[in-house]
């Protein structure tokens, strides 16, 4: 998503968000003959079952059938599914992309082609527009992320209420903010620490899971959340202290966002796109397991 948005800015492309209503029900049920009980208000006396024709919500095979159905729709629209990311579809002309996560779509490309693609897909799927990123001030919600267009950039952030709810669950609504996401004690060995009780353990796992969903748009907490994730199976009081420190940091940085701003203009002639990747590793850096840590940007 971040790479597509940056590419769109560099090429002055149009970004359109869309949502597929009742996505699973578009797919035909092909997993054998299946019957379901109808709602009681239709047949109060009972004795009737319905034969399933469409992929019903709640069935294990429904997501797979929907993905296969959507892939067929995109293939008929001259899109090719990317091998590197099964959620990304590329048009045959190379200047149009569709990113699909279950029922959320992000269509990126030249404005006329983007609008035309939405109309084509609307003939086969029940769809509605959720927003666009055309001019400064435009906003779009995609996968729980808020995308805001500025003059020459896109700001990616989470709803401020998301962090507020995490702090509320941890009883840290009125805490004093911390200046850093962690301290040098993150590398201390924690094997001998007292483990959390069952209730606190469940809360710890829930809070770390919520932080993992926040991490892609907040790289500043990536290392801290990674360290906290190592303790989800057997968290200790020290893990809990580290978690509370990170949450105190978030309480003072609720409005931080990720800015996507390309340095080159790919709409000009004789310009090419170069993707630069930085990697680093900490060999056997974990003091308790001697496992290594690697990262990529």
Domain ranges of the chain: 2-131, 160-257
| Maximum CA extent, the chain | 74
Q: How confident is the model at residue 222 (pLDDT cuts 50, 70, 90)?
A: very high
Query: Is residue 79 scored above 90 in pLDDT?
Result: yes
pTM for this predicted structure: 0.84
Do the beta carbons of residue 147 and residue 198 sit within 8 Å? Answer: no
Query: Is residue 225 scored above 90 in pLDDT?
Result: yes
By DSSP bridging, strand 104-109 and strand 14-20 are antiparallel
User: How many CA atoms lie within 13 Å of 172's alpha carbon, on the beta-carbon side?
Assistant: 23
Alpha-carbon distance of 28 to 232, in angstroms, equals: 39
Alpha-carbon distance of 49 to 34, in angstroms, equals: 10
Query: Is residue 121 scored above 90 in pLDDT?
Result: yes
The pLDDT, as a whole number, for residue 72 is: 97
Q: Which residues contact 100 (CB under 8 A, 6 or more apart)?
A: 70, 87, 88, 89, 106
Query: Is residue 271 scored above 90 in pLDDT?
Result: no
Burial group, residue 47, by CB count within 10 angstroms (0-12, 13-18, 19+):
exposed
The pLDDT, as a whole number, for residue 191 is: 53
User: How many CA atoms lie within 13 Å of 82's alpha carbon, on the beta-carbon side?
Assistant: 14
Q: Mean pLDDT score of the chain, rounded to an integer?
A: 91
- Count of beta carbons in the 10 Å neighbourhood of residue 14: 19
The pLDDT, as a whole number, for residue 116 is: 95
Distance of CA 89 to the CA centre of its chain: 17
Q: How confident is the model at residue 166 (pLDDT cuts 50, 70, 90)?
A: very high
Mean pLDDT value across residues 199-219: 95
Query: Is residue 192 scored above 70 in pLDDT?
Result: no
The pLDDT, as a whole number, for residue 186 is: 58
What are the tens digits of pLDDT across the range 59-78? 999 999 999 999 999 999 99
């Amino acid at each position: 998503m971040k790479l597509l948005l940056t590419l769109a800015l560099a090429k002055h492309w149009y970004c359109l968000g869309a949502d597929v209503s009742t996505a699973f029900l578009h797919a035909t049920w092909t997993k054998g003959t299946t019957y379901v009980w109808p709602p009681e208000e239709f047949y109060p006396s009972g004795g009737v079952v319905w034969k399933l024709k469409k992929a019903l919500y709640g069935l294990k095979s429904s997501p797979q059938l929907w993905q296969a159905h959507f892939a067929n729709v995109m293939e008929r629209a001259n899109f090719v599914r990317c091998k590197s990311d099964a959620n990304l579809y590329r048009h045959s002309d190379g200047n149009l992309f569709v990113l699909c996560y279950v029922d959320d779509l992000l269509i990126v490309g030249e404005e006329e082609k983007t609008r035309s693609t939405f109309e084509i897909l609307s003939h086969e799927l029940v769809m509605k527009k959720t927003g666009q990123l055309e001019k400064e001030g435009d906003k779009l919600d995609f996968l729980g992320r808020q995308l805001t267009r500025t003059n020459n950039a896109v700001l990616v952030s989470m709803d401020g209420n998301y962090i507020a709810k995490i702090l509320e669950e941890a009883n840290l609504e009125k805490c004093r903010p911390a200046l850093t996401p962690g301290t040098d004690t993150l590398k201390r060995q924690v094997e001998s620490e007292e483990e959390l009780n069952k209730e606190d353990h469940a809360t710890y796992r829930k809070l770390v899971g919520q932080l993992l969903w926040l991490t892609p748009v907040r790289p500043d907490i990536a290392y801290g959340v990674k360290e906290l994730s190592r303790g989800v199976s057997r968290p200790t009081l020290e893990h809990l202290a580290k978690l509370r420190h990170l949450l105190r940091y978030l309480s003072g940085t609720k409005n931080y966002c990720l800015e996507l701003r390309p340095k080159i203009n790919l709409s000009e002639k004789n310009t090419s796109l170069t993707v630069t990747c930085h990697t680093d590793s900490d060999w056997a850096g974990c003091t308790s397991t001697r496992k290594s840590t690697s990262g990529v940007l």
